[in-house]
Amino acid sequence: MSQTEILTHPLFHIVSAYLYNDLVNWTIQFSPSVSTLEKLLSLYVEQTDYADLLVQYMLLAPDPESKYQQEHLRRLIKNWRREGKALTLEEISVSSFDSGTKKSIRKVGFRILKGIENHQVQGFFLRNVQRLLPDVFLGPLGWQNFSPVVPPVLIQIAEKNSGSSKNRVPDDFEAIAKYLYRNINKMYIKELFLVAAALMNEGGKEEERNSPSSIITIIKSINMLFKYLFSDLGIRSVAELDPDVYIRKYLNTDLPNHSAGTKLQCYRFYVDGRNAVERWRKAHPKTQRELGTWCLPAFKLPIDTTELEAQAARETASKRHGQLAALMPVYLPLLSVVHHRACVFAEISAAFDQAWLEMQERAPSAAADPFPLMVVLSDGSATLQFVILARSGRDRLAAVCEYLGATDASGQPLPLPFFALMQRGFYDETYRAELKQYGILPNDCDAQTAGLLRPASDVSAFCRNEYVQARREKRTAKIYLSIDALGAAAAFGSLAVMIDYSSSIRIHEVLQIRIEPGYINVDDEEGYTTCLIYQKGDKGSKLQGTKILLEPFVTYFLRTTIIMKRKINGVFRNVHMDGGKNFRFTPGPYLFQWNNGPIYGHHLTSLIRFMAFGVTYQSPSDEFKNLKPHDLRHGQMRAQHALGRTVKTIQRNVGHHRENMTLYYLGLLEGRQQSVKFGQLAPITMWGSMLPDAITRLQQKK
């Protein structure tokens, strides 16, 4: 059809006025087929209330005439019918479709939502999107997401206290809104919502207001308490709740999943939440009567928590010391293993760099041919074999490597290294349960920053397809991976481990390191590195920073990481660090960044666990299941004490405000002296460090 014929199609006479101009521009750009126009026309002829929605969906399609897009539109029109009659949007939102149709519906909703956020789509489509995505918090609606269940007066308080503008929830409070929305169907959502709204922006100075994370902790604890009260004790509404009876019973009952500390926290945060609401009501007398319906009931009699506090302290101390007792035997072996693993990945990356240069010099006719890569470890302990698949010519980020295996000096095959097992966990969800024995959690295998540990999106899709195909053919999947993604993960993960071993700073303090004058200084003569950070008590005020001295052995890892980042991912840019906005940190060239954004704390924790793969092998305690960066901090404190450092020196180094806190983590509180059993160090080969049980092997050597 010619352009003139397309514009005279009946669809243009029946389409809604606000879509007409967009539809004309769309036809000029894509020249849609008669079949596409007829499908859209049929929606209006049948008078479906989702006709405008699907037309808008097609207008946003990057390639509306693609086979995939045409099939998707056909399937939607077919499935949104019952007995030949078109459903309404209300019926679609409550109908029981198969998983494939539900996925298709969500694709429509998310595409329209993205168009609204990019100002390509009219805002009134949000109500339709809300029907298609009932479980998704819609950013453009802001606190109005809760309007179907939460009274307007509560929404107004949330909007005022969070500083919302144009309906959008500020970034600082979006996590609170999303958490509340996940619980929107709870019978006590109004009470939770009011507590959160009252806590927002509370306090004197701006820095003193409750942080979003602390508000989430409070409402999570109240939610946990209510889950027990409503399910186990049979309470049907908050109006029935007599805290003197039910919460007292909760505190005095032994529950398998609620420790004394958990019960104490739930009780205290219930009281804090109620007090916050009462403070709001006193400050706004006109709301006294209106808000009374959704206030948490008050205690009539005081509750003595002395015994519960003592029990919680005993439980916490026992758990913490049990974790540290399990950590200390592997503390030094772990340092050796991570160091060797970092060296192996550095050698693999260097060999890949050389091979990539040689590939670019090949004749065009051979540009797509697989390229063999052999890496002989410098200590001669193994030879690793790879094949590089240059799927997109000179695009290094699209390069896929197949790991073929490793052999020792005599040519004998060697077991799979830990990175191959981790790679399998990315794409084989059933295998993730087995990775727990190596200290890897399911979240460590889930979506992370693209190209950092897990391959970038296009390479990741290629790897996933191999696992899907292998499952269909009932064969062992080939080990496809991205050497750049693994090399970058090894660089950042090992650097974070070495910083913890050197300074024992917290994970959020590690993320503060900036590579610019005034914030970091490397002494080339002595090898020490000095970093300026704001410790736990200084982040809000930032009246003074703390200079952290990193040992010379950290400098090598620091420089290696900087070189790796610039080579693979470009220059360091000014970004916000993870959580930096909450404490008014300015953007800057933070060391831990990737893809022009920050590396988040949970992702850095995954990188640390990746480099510490297998650390739980030596754990004699059920409490110590997987490595946490904070455990390394406490392990370093004990190592300092074993080396003869005074408690005062350790307290100053780790940034504790009270000496008792330092004594507690050293196991010296109340005069107790706990012996520290460090694991013995022994020689290990580079290949030996790559085995999943490397830490066990090393610690067993005498």
CA–CA dist 340, 332 (Å, integer): 13
Q: What SS3 string covers 253-305?
A: CCECCECHHHHHHHHHHHHHHHHHHHHHHHHCHHHHHHHHHHCCCCCCCCCCC
Is 77's pLDDT higher than 70? yes
What's the pTM? Answer: 0.75
Residue 140 has pLDDT above 50, yes or no: yes
Phi first, then psi: what are they for 211, rounded to 5°? Answer: -70, 155
* pLDDT value, residue 289: 81
Residue 313's pLDDT is 86
Residue 503: name the closest of 654, 327, 334 by CA.
654
The token pair at 26 is: 């769309």
Domain spans, the chain = 3-131, 138-303
Residue 205 confidence (pLDDT) above 50: no
Percent of the chain as helix, strand, coil, to the nearest 5: 60, 10, 35
> Which of the pair, 673 or 97, is modelled with greater confidence?
97
* pLDDT value of residue 365: 72
pLDDT-wise least confident of 49-63, 424-438, 614-628, 653-667: 614-628
Conformation bin of residue 673: beta by default, left when phi > 0, alpha when psi is -120 to 50: beta
What is the C-alpha separation between 589 and 576, in angstroms, rounded?
9
pLDDT at 278: 92
So what's the pLDDT on residue 539? 47
Question: In angstroms, rounded to a whole number, what is the distance separating the alpha carbons of residues 471 and 430?
Answer: 12
- Among the residue ranges 279-293, 367-381, 455-469, 577-591, the one predicted with the least confidence is 577-591
What percentage of the chain has pLDDT greater than the value 70? 91
Q: How far apart are CA 389 and CA 45, in angstroms?
A: 52
Output the pLDDT for position 561: 95
Residue 364, pLDDT above cutoff 60: yes
Lowest mean pLDDT among 248-252, 493-497, 658-662: 658-662
Q: What is the pLDDT of residues 573-589, one digit of tens each?
A: 999 888 776 667 889 99
* 262 or 447: which leads in pLDDT: 262
Q: Is 667 a residue whose pLDDT tops 90?
A: no
